[in-house]
Amino acid sequence: SKPAMRVAVTGAAGQIGYALLFRIASGEMLGKDQPVILQLLEIPDEKAQKALKGVMMELDDCAFPLLAGMSAHSDARDAFKDVDVALLVGARPRGPGMERKDLLHVNAQIFTAQGKALNDVASRNVKVLVVGNPANTNAYIAMKSAPDLPAKNFTAMLRLDHNRALSQLAAKSGKPVADIEKLIVWGNHSPTMYPDTRFATVGGESLQGIINDEAWNRDTFIPTVGKRGGAIIEARGLSSAASAANAAIDHIRDWVLGSNGKWVTMGVPSDGSYGIPEGIIYGVPVTTTNGEYTRVEGLEIDTFSRERMDFTLSELLEEREGVQDLLK
Protein backbone atom coordinates (compact mmCIF):
# COMPACT_ATOMS: atom_id res chain seq x y z
CA SER A 1 0.00 0.00 0.00
CA LYS A 2 0.96 3.68 -0.31
CA PRO A 3 3.14 5.29 2.38
CA ALA A 4 1.01 7.07 5.00
CA MET A 5 0.47 10.83 4.75
CA ARG A 6 0.84 12.87 7.93
CA VAL A 7 -2.04 15.22 8.68
CA ALA A 8 -1.92 17.76 11.50
CA VAL A 9 -5.19 19.10 12.89
CA THR A 10 -5.19 21.92 15.45
CA GLY A 11 -8.14 22.55 17.75
CA ALA A 12 -8.68 18.81 17.43
CA ALA A 13 -10.93 18.57 20.51
CA GLY A 14 -13.23 21.35 19.28
CA GLN A 15 -16.54 20.96 17.47
CA ILE A 16 -15.16 21.21 13.94
CA GLY A 17 -12.43 18.75 14.95
CA TYR A 18 -15.09 16.29 16.05
CA ALA A 19 -16.82 16.54 12.67
CA LEU A 20 -13.56 16.38 10.73
CA LEU A 21 -11.24 13.73 12.17
CA PHE A 22 -13.46 10.72 11.52
CA ARG A 23 -13.91 11.66 7.89
CA ILE A 24 -10.16 12.14 7.37
CA ALA A 25 -9.49 8.76 8.99
CA SER A 26 -12.10 7.08 6.80
CA GLY A 27 -10.35 8.24 3.63
CA GLU A 28 -12.80 10.90 2.48
CA MET A 29 -10.14 13.61 2.30
CA LEU A 30 -7.06 11.96 0.78
CA GLY A 31 -8.55 8.92 -0.93
CA LYS A 32 -9.84 5.49 -0.04
CA ASP A 33 -6.41 3.96 -0.71
CA GLN A 34 -4.36 6.50 1.24
CA PRO A 35 -3.27 5.62 4.81
CA VAL A 36 -3.10 8.61 7.17
CA ILE A 37 -1.35 9.45 10.42
CA LEU A 38 -3.15 12.08 12.52
CA GLN A 39 -1.01 14.50 14.55
CA LEU A 40 -3.41 16.36 16.81
CA LEU A 41 -2.77 19.66 18.55
CA GLU A 42 -4.70 21.16 21.44
CA ILE A 43 -3.89 23.82 24.03
CA PRO A 44 -1.97 22.48 27.06
CA ASP A 45 -5.06 22.99 29.26
CA GLU A 46 -5.81 19.75 31.11
CA LYS A 47 -9.48 19.67 30.11
CA ALA A 48 -8.68 20.15 26.42
CA GLN A 49 -6.01 17.44 26.46
CA LYS A 50 -8.36 15.06 28.24
CA ALA A 51 -11.13 15.75 25.73
CA LEU A 52 -8.64 15.12 22.93
CA LYS A 53 -7.79 11.73 24.45
CA GLY A 54 -11.51 10.94 24.44
CA VAL A 55 -11.79 11.75 20.73
CA MET A 56 -8.79 9.51 20.06
CA MET A 57 -10.45 6.69 21.99
CA GLU A 58 -13.43 7.01 19.65
CA LEU A 59 -11.15 7.07 16.61
CA ASP A 60 -9.62 3.84 17.92
CA ASP A 61 -13.09 2.38 18.30
CA CYS A 62 -13.87 2.98 14.64
CA ALA A 63 -11.03 0.60 13.68
CA PHE A 64 -10.48 2.60 10.49
CA PRO A 65 -8.32 0.49 8.14
CA LEU A 66 -6.63 3.65 6.76
CA LEU A 67 -5.69 5.14 10.15
CA ALA A 68 -2.03 4.19 10.40
CA GLY A 69 -1.31 6.10 13.61
CA MET A 70 -2.18 9.11 15.72
CA SER A 71 -0.66 11.25 18.44
CA ALA A 72 -1.77 14.05 20.79
CA HIS A 73 0.30 17.20 21.27
CA SER A 74 0.33 20.50 23.10
CA ASP A 75 3.34 21.91 21.24
CA ALA A 76 3.05 22.88 17.57
CA ARG A 77 6.65 21.84 16.87
CA ASP A 78 5.79 18.25 17.80
CA ALA A 79 2.40 18.24 16.09
CA PHE A 80 3.74 19.60 12.78
CA LYS A 81 6.78 17.31 12.48
CA ASP A 82 7.00 16.13 8.85
CA VAL A 83 3.32 16.83 8.12
CA ASP A 84 2.08 16.78 4.52
CA VAL A 85 -1.19 18.53 5.33
CA ALA A 86 -1.91 20.98 8.16
CA LEU A 87 -5.47 21.95 9.03
CA LEU A 88 -5.27 24.96 11.33
CA VAL A 89 -8.71 24.92 12.92
CA GLY A 90 -7.99 25.98 16.50
CA ALA A 91 -8.25 29.69 17.22
CA ARG A 92 -9.29 31.96 20.06
CA PRO A 93 -12.96 32.87 19.81
CA ARG A 94 -14.07 36.37 20.71
CA GLY A 95 -14.63 36.51 24.47
CA PRO A 96 -17.01 38.81 26.36
CA GLY A 97 -15.94 42.45 26.08
CA MET A 98 -13.16 41.58 23.65
CA GLU A 99 -12.56 44.12 20.88
CA ARG A 100 -12.02 43.01 17.29
CA LYS A 101 -8.48 44.36 17.57
CA ASP A 102 -7.74 42.21 20.65
CA LEU A 103 -9.10 39.18 18.82
CA LEU A 104 -6.81 39.89 15.86
CA HIS A 105 -3.87 40.20 18.23
CA VAL A 106 -4.33 36.97 20.22
CA ASN A 107 -4.85 35.06 17.02
CA ALA A 108 -1.87 36.74 15.41
CA GLN A 109 0.27 35.35 18.23
CA ILE A 110 -1.10 31.83 17.74
CA PHE A 111 -0.57 31.90 13.98
CA THR A 112 2.89 33.46 14.20
CA ALA A 113 4.00 30.59 16.45
CA GLN A 114 2.33 27.97 14.29
CA GLY A 115 3.77 29.46 11.08
CA LYS A 116 7.25 29.32 12.59
CA ALA A 117 6.74 25.73 13.71
CA LEU A 118 5.60 24.73 10.20
CA ASN A 119 8.61 26.55 8.78
CA ASP A 120 10.96 24.55 10.99
CA VAL A 121 9.54 21.03 11.03
CA ALA A 122 6.84 20.40 8.40
CA SER A 123 7.35 18.72 5.02
CA ARG A 124 8.68 21.27 2.49
CA ASN A 125 5.55 20.56 0.43
CA VAL A 126 3.10 20.93 3.30
CA LYS A 127 -0.37 22.06 2.23
CA VAL A 128 -1.76 24.42 4.86
CA LEU A 129 -5.46 25.24 5.23
CA VAL A 130 -6.46 27.84 7.80
CA VAL A 131 -10.03 27.48 9.09
CA GLY A 132 -9.72 29.35 12.41
CA ASN A 133 -10.97 32.92 12.21
CA PRO A 134 -10.12 35.49 11.01
CA ALA A 135 -9.07 32.80 8.51
CA ASN A 136 -7.57 34.91 5.70
CA THR A 137 -5.50 37.07 8.00
CA ASN A 138 -4.43 34.11 10.14
CA ALA A 139 -3.24 32.39 6.95
CA TYR A 140 -1.38 35.57 5.98
CA ILE A 141 0.36 35.66 9.36
CA ALA A 142 1.32 31.98 9.22
CA MET A 143 2.66 32.45 5.68
CA LYS A 144 4.74 35.48 6.68
CA SER A 145 6.09 33.55 9.67
CA ALA A 146 7.28 30.70 7.44
CA PRO A 147 9.76 32.31 5.01
CA ASP A 148 11.40 28.97 4.10
CA LEU A 149 8.16 27.44 2.81
CA PRO A 150 6.59 28.38 -0.53
CA ALA A 151 3.98 31.11 0.08
CA LYS A 152 1.55 29.34 -2.26
CA ASN A 153 1.28 26.49 0.27
CA PHE A 154 -0.73 28.72 2.64
CA THR A 155 -4.46 28.90 2.00
CA ALA A 156 -7.60 30.01 3.82
CA MET A 157 -11.01 28.38 3.74
CA LEU A 158 -13.61 30.03 1.50
CA ARG A 159 -15.10 26.70 0.51
CA LEU A 160 -17.89 26.81 3.06
CA ASP A 161 -19.00 30.11 1.55
CA HIS A 162 -18.71 28.56 -1.92
CA ASN A 163 -20.82 25.56 -0.91
CA ARG A 164 -23.39 27.76 0.83
CA ALA A 165 -23.71 29.81 -2.37
CA LEU A 166 -24.03 26.66 -4.50
CA SER A 167 -26.89 25.35 -2.44
CA GLN A 168 -28.75 28.69 -2.53
CA LEU A 169 -28.38 28.78 -6.31
CA ALA A 170 -29.53 25.19 -6.71
CA ALA A 171 -32.65 25.94 -4.65
CA LYS A 172 -33.45 29.11 -6.59
CA SER A 173 -32.88 27.62 -10.05
CA GLY A 174 -34.34 24.18 -9.32
CA LYS A 175 -31.18 22.62 -10.75
CA PRO A 176 -29.01 19.98 -9.05
CA VAL A 177 -26.04 21.30 -7.05
CA ALA A 178 -23.72 19.00 -8.96
CA ASP A 179 -24.61 20.61 -12.29
CA ILE A 180 -23.65 24.14 -11.26
CA GLU A 181 -20.16 25.18 -12.32
CA LYS A 182 -17.98 28.28 -12.46
CA LEU A 183 -19.21 29.92 -9.29
CA ILE A 184 -16.77 32.25 -7.53
CA VAL A 185 -16.55 33.68 -4.02
CA TRP A 186 -14.16 36.63 -3.96
CA GLY A 187 -12.36 37.99 -0.93
CA ASN A 188 -12.44 37.56 2.80
CA HIS A 189 -14.16 34.77 4.73
CA SER A 190 -16.51 37.23 6.40
CA PRO A 191 -19.88 38.79 5.60
CA THR A 192 -18.07 41.11 3.14
CA MET A 193 -17.27 38.26 0.73
CA TYR A 194 -18.68 38.53 -2.79
CA PRO A 195 -20.32 35.44 -4.29
CA ASP A 196 -20.15 36.10 -8.04
CA THR A 197 -22.54 34.19 -10.31
CA ARG A 198 -21.75 36.04 -13.56
CA PHE A 199 -19.85 33.13 -15.06
CA ALA A 200 -21.84 30.30 -13.46
CA THR A 201 -23.33 27.66 -15.73
CA VAL A 202 -25.72 24.73 -15.52
CA GLY A 203 -25.04 22.12 -18.14
CA GLY A 204 -23.22 24.77 -20.15
CA GLU A 205 -26.14 27.24 -19.97
CA SER A 206 -25.79 30.58 -18.15
CA LEU A 207 -27.16 30.33 -14.60
CA GLN A 208 -27.99 34.04 -14.51
CA GLY A 209 -30.00 33.50 -17.67
CA ILE A 210 -32.00 30.76 -15.93
CA ILE A 211 -32.56 32.68 -12.69
CA ASN A 212 -32.90 36.04 -14.47
CA ASP A 213 -33.45 38.09 -11.30
CA GLU A 214 -30.89 40.81 -10.67
CA ALA A 215 -32.69 42.13 -7.58
CA TRP A 216 -32.67 38.64 -6.03
CA ASN A 217 -28.94 38.39 -6.65
CA ARG A 218 -28.19 41.73 -5.03
CA ASP A 219 -30.78 41.90 -2.25
CA THR A 220 -31.29 38.27 -1.26
CA PHE A 221 -28.60 35.93 -2.54
CA ILE A 222 -25.45 37.92 -1.68
CA PRO A 223 -26.61 38.90 1.84
CA THR A 224 -27.93 35.38 2.58
CA VAL A 225 -24.58 33.79 1.78
CA GLY A 226 -22.73 36.50 3.70
CA LYS A 227 -24.87 36.13 6.82
CA ARG A 228 -25.27 32.36 6.72
CA GLY A 229 -22.78 31.74 9.54
CA GLY A 230 -24.80 34.03 11.81
CA ALA A 231 -28.05 32.34 10.77
CA ILE A 232 -26.64 28.94 11.77
CA ILE A 233 -25.58 30.27 15.19
CA GLU A 234 -29.04 31.78 15.64
CA ALA A 235 -30.77 28.49 14.79
CA ARG A 236 -28.42 25.96 16.36
CA GLY A 237 -27.05 27.93 19.28
CA LEU A 238 -23.60 26.90 18.06
CA SER A 239 -21.52 27.87 15.04
CA SER A 240 -21.31 25.77 11.87
CA ALA A 241 -19.25 22.65 12.52
CA ALA A 242 -20.24 19.73 10.28
CA SER A 243 -20.57 21.98 7.22
CA ALA A 244 -17.25 23.66 8.05
CA ALA A 245 -15.54 20.27 8.41
CA ASN A 246 -17.12 19.18 5.12
CA ALA A 247 -15.76 22.27 3.38
CA ALA A 248 -12.27 21.61 4.77
CA ILE A 249 -12.44 18.07 3.39
CA ASP A 250 -13.57 19.41 -0.01
CA HIS A 251 -10.78 22.02 -0.06
CA ILE A 252 -7.94 19.60 0.71
CA ARG A 253 -9.36 16.73 -1.37
CA ASP A 254 -9.56 18.93 -4.46
CA TRP A 255 -6.12 20.44 -3.82
CA VAL A 256 -4.45 17.04 -3.40
CA LEU A 257 -6.49 14.91 -5.81
CA GLY A 258 -7.62 17.49 -8.37
CA SER A 259 -10.91 19.22 -9.23
CA ASN A 260 -11.22 17.62 -12.68
CA GLY A 261 -11.36 20.96 -14.41
CA LYS A 262 -14.05 22.37 -12.10
CA TRP A 263 -13.64 25.84 -10.63
CA VAL A 264 -13.44 25.89 -6.85
CA THR A 265 -12.85 28.80 -4.50
CA MET A 266 -9.70 28.94 -2.38
CA GLY A 267 -8.24 31.78 -0.31
CA VAL A 268 -4.72 32.03 -1.72
CA PRO A 269 -1.91 34.60 -1.65
CA SER A 270 -2.59 37.09 -4.44
CA ASP A 271 -0.22 37.30 -7.40
CA GLY A 272 -1.37 40.87 -8.01
CA SER A 273 -4.05 39.94 -10.53
CA TYR A 274 -7.60 41.32 -10.37
CA GLY A 275 -6.27 44.41 -8.61
CA ILE A 276 -5.58 42.54 -5.37
CA PRO A 277 -2.22 43.51 -3.85
CA GLU A 278 0.36 40.73 -3.94
CA GLY A 279 0.43 38.49 -0.89
CA ILE A 280 -3.05 39.29 0.42
CA ILE A 281 -4.93 36.03 1.06
CA TYR A 282 -8.05 36.46 -1.04
CA GLY A 283 -10.77 34.10 -2.26
CA VAL A 284 -10.37 33.45 -5.99
CA PRO A 285 -11.50 30.83 -8.50
CA VAL A 286 -8.95 28.09 -9.10
CA THR A 287 -8.71 24.74 -10.81
CA THR A 288 -6.52 22.08 -9.26
CA THR A 289 -4.45 19.30 -10.71
CA ASN A 290 -1.46 17.20 -9.57
CA GLY A 291 -1.44 18.81 -6.12
CA GLU A 292 -1.27 22.39 -7.46
CA TYR A 293 -3.90 25.07 -7.83
CA THR A 294 -4.05 27.43 -10.79
CA ARG A 295 -5.90 30.74 -10.62
CA VAL A 296 -8.59 31.24 -13.27
CA GLU A 297 -7.25 34.24 -15.13
CA GLY A 298 -8.54 36.98 -17.37
CA LEU A 299 -12.12 37.24 -16.10
CA GLU A 300 -13.78 40.52 -16.83
CA ILE A 301 -14.62 42.57 -13.75
CA ASP A 302 -17.63 44.88 -14.13
CA THR A 303 -18.38 47.96 -12.04
CA PHE A 304 -20.65 46.20 -9.54
CA SER A 305 -18.10 43.41 -9.03
CA ARG A 306 -15.21 45.87 -8.72
CA GLU A 307 -17.03 47.65 -5.89
CA ARG A 308 -17.75 44.39 -4.07
CA MET A 309 -14.23 43.10 -4.55
CA ASP A 310 -12.71 46.35 -3.29
CA PHE A 311 -15.03 46.40 -0.28
CA THR A 312 -13.96 42.95 0.95
CA LEU A 313 -10.34 43.83 0.08
CA SER A 314 -10.50 46.97 2.24
CA GLU A 315 -11.45 44.80 5.23
CA LEU A 316 -8.46 42.53 4.59
CA LEU A 317 -6.12 45.52 4.28
CA GLU A 318 -7.44 46.81 7.60
CA GLU A 319 -6.89 43.44 9.25
CA ARG A 320 -3.37 43.32 7.88
CA GLU A 321 -2.73 46.83 9.17
CA GLY A 322 -3.92 45.67 12.62
CA VAL A 323 -1.29 42.93 12.86
CA GLN A 324 1.58 44.55 10.92
CA ASP A 325 3.56 45.47 14.06
CA LEU A 326 3.55 41.82 15.18
CA LEU A 327 5.15 40.65 11.94
CA LYS A 328 8.30 42.73 12.18
List residues with catalytic annotation.
189
What are the C-alpha distances in Å from 248 to residues 162, 176, 255?
Answer: 12, 22, 11
241 binds ligand NAX (CB under 6 A): yes
3 state SS of 181: strand
What mask of x and - would describe binding to ligand NAX in positions 14 to 43, judged by CB under 6 A?
xxxx-----------------------xxx
Binding-site member from 137, 197, 217, 240 for ligand NAX (CB under 6 A): 240
C-alpha 39/C-alpha 83 separation (Å) is 8
CB 250, min distance to ligand NAX, A: 11
Task: Provide the 10 A C-beta neighbour count for residue 214.
Answer: 10
Q: Which is nearer to ligand NAX, 41 or 66 (CB)?
A: 41
Q: How does DSSP classify residue 269? A: E
Binding-site member from 6, 7, 9, 10 for ligand NAX (CB under 6 A): 10
CB 136, min distance to ligand NAX, A: 9
What mask of x and - would describe binding to ligand NAX in positions 271 to 300, judged by CB under 6 A?
------------------------------
135 binds ligand NAX (CB under 6 A): yes
Residue 130 phi, psi dihedral angles, 5° rounding: -95, 125
Contacts for 25 with CB less than 8 Å, ≥ 6 apart: 36, 38, 59, 62, 64, 66, 67
CB 222, min distance to ligand NAX, A: 17
Binding-site member from 169, 222, 244, 252 for ligand NAX (CB under 6 A): 244
In 3D, which of 52, 40, 46 has the Cα closest to residue 81? 40
Is 17 within any annotated ligand binding site? Answer: yes
C-alpha 145/C-alpha 162 separation (Å) is 28
Q: Among the candidate windows 5-13, 117-125, 199-207, 312-320, which touches ligand NAX by CB under 6 A?
A: 5-13
Question: Taking CB under 6 A as the criterion, which residues in 178-197 touch ligand NAX?
Answer: 189
User: Is the Cα torsion angle 224, 227, 229, 231 positive or negative in sign?
Assistant: negative
Contact 229, 209 (CB under 8 A): no
Identify residue 208 by its one-letter amino acid code: Q
Burial of residue 101 (number of CB atoms within 10 Å: 0-12, 13-18, 19+): exposed
48 binds ligand NAX (CB under 6 A): yes
Is 16 within any annotated ligand binding site? Answer: yes
Q: What is the DSSP string of 101-135?
A: HHHHHHHHHHHHHHHHHHHHHS-TT-EEEE-SSSH
CB 18, min distance to ligand NAX, A: 8
Question: Taking CB under 6 A as the criterion, which residues in 153-182 touch ligand NAX?
Answer: 157, 160
| Binding-residue total with ligand NAX (CB under 6 A) | 28
Binding-site residue positions for NAD(+): 11-17, 107, 114, 131-133
For ligand NAX, the binding residues (CB under 6 A) are 10-11, 13-17, 41-43, 48, 89-93, 110, 131-133, 135, 157, 160, 189, 239-241, 244
